[in-house]
Structure 1
Amino acid sequence: MIYIYNDYGGTHTTSLAAAYHLKQLPQSERKLTTEEILNVKFFNKLTKEDFGKLIFHGVDEEGNSVYSIGRKRNKYVVPALKEMSLLLQEKHQFDEKIVFSNTSPTVPFAMSMGGFFSRGLKIDVIGVPLLVKGAKRCCDNVFRLVENTKEIGKTTFSENVIILENEMYK
């Protein structure tokens, strides 16, 4: 199975989700520390050149690959990736299940502003504290989103490509 966490920038909640998924963060809903947040691989590290690229985070304990992607505002990226995946599955007997999980609903306002200042304007002195505040605010929702994503991946057998919008985490 392949898990792909996606959102606007692909460097904040998607990185947290991948870290939770790969058990690189505590497996609980407790608030993360500043150090835990800032030590997450790719957290606030990706740039505009990384938009639209699949970023490999690792392989989980069950042998599943975990990726993320920043899709900007383009609502067609994930459906296009689904269609491409279905095409590859049909033409090349590729039967790996793929789960796309949208982390955008977990993003609080502080994180949006932090990303704007840090990644957009390159003003880390303002952006990073806002990102950390936002990550602390949403980490419990990200943890639950990941647990739900993994559960759906394990239990949904009728579809080979699944898109989770995760609106319940707003």
Structure 2
Amino acid sequence: MIYIYNDYGGTHTTSLAAAYHLKQISQSERKLTKEEILNVNYFNKLTKDDFGKIIFHGVDENGDSVYTVGRKSAKFVVQALKDLCQLLQNKHHFHEKIVFSNTSPTVPFVMSIGGFFSRGLKIDFIGVPLLVLGAKQCCDNIYRLVENTKQVGRSSNEAQIIILENEVYKK
């Protein structure tokens, strides 16, 4: 199975989701620390040149691959990827289940502002503290989103390609 977490930039909530999925960070009753957040692979490290790139994060305990992608505001990117996967499945007998999971609904306003300052304007001394604050606010929702994504992936659903919009996590 392949999991692909996606959102606008592909560097904040998607990176956290991949880290939770791969158990690189663990859920507990406490909020993540600043150090845990800033040490997550790719967190706040991708640039505009990375939009649309599918980034491999690792293989989970079940042997499933975990990826992320920043799609900007173009939600049609996920539909295009779904269509490409269906083409590969039909034409080349590729039968891997693929789950696309949108992490955008978990993004709090403060994280959007932090991302704008840090990634957009390159003003990290303002943006990074806001990103950390936002990550602390949404880490529980991201963890629940990941657990739901994994459950849907494991379900006996006949669908080979699943798109989760995850609106239930909307702030």
Q: Common fold, TM-score beyond 0.5?
A: yes
Q: What is aligned with 1:94?
A: 94
Establish whether residue 118 from structure 1 lines up as the match of residue 127 from structure 2: no
Matched residue type, 2:2: I
* Residue correspondences, number: 170
Instruction: Give 1:75 deviation, angstroms.
Output: 1.6
Tell me how far 1:157 sits from its aligned partner. Answer: 2.5
CA offset digits 1:18-75 (Å, max 9, x no partner): 0000000013353101010000000000000000000000000000000000000102
Aligned mates of 1:11, 1:149 — CA distance in 2: 19
1:156 offset after TM fit, Å?
4.1
Q: Is the 8 A contact 1:28 1:143 kept in 2?
A: no
Matched, 1:134 2:134: yes
Partner of 1:4: 4
CA distance in 2 between partners of 1:73 and 1:29 (Å): 33
Contiguous gaps of at least 5 residues in structure 1? none
How far apart, in 1, do the equivalents of 2:28 and 2:142 lie? 10
Correspondence 1:35-114 to 2 at 5 A? 35-114=35-114
Task: Compute the displacement of 1:169 (Å).
Answer: 0.2
Q: Which moved more, 1:24-33 or 1:127-136?
A: 24-33
Alpha-carbon distance in structure 2 between the residues aligned to 1:126 and 1:99 = 35
- Structure 2: which 5+ residue stretches go unaligned? none
Retained in 2: the 8 A contact 1:29–1:143? Answer: no
Residues 1:20 and 2:20 are matched in the alignment = yes
| Rounded Cα–Cα distance in structure 2 between residues aligned with 1:77 and 1:147 | 24
For residues 57-112 of structure 1, give each alpha carbon's deviation from its aligned partner in whole angstroms, at most 9, with x where no partner exists: 00000000000000001021000000000000000110000000000000000100
The answer to whether the 8 Å contact 1:29/1:139 transfers is no
Cα RMSD (Å): 0.8
Q: Report sequence identity in percent.
A: 76
**SS at the partner of 2:80?**
helix
Alpha carbons of 1:70 and 1:156: their partners in 2 closer, same or farther (altered >3 Å)? farther
In the TM superposition, structure 1's runs of 4+ consecutive aligned residues that sit over 4 Å from their partners are none
Residue type at the aligned position of 1:153: G
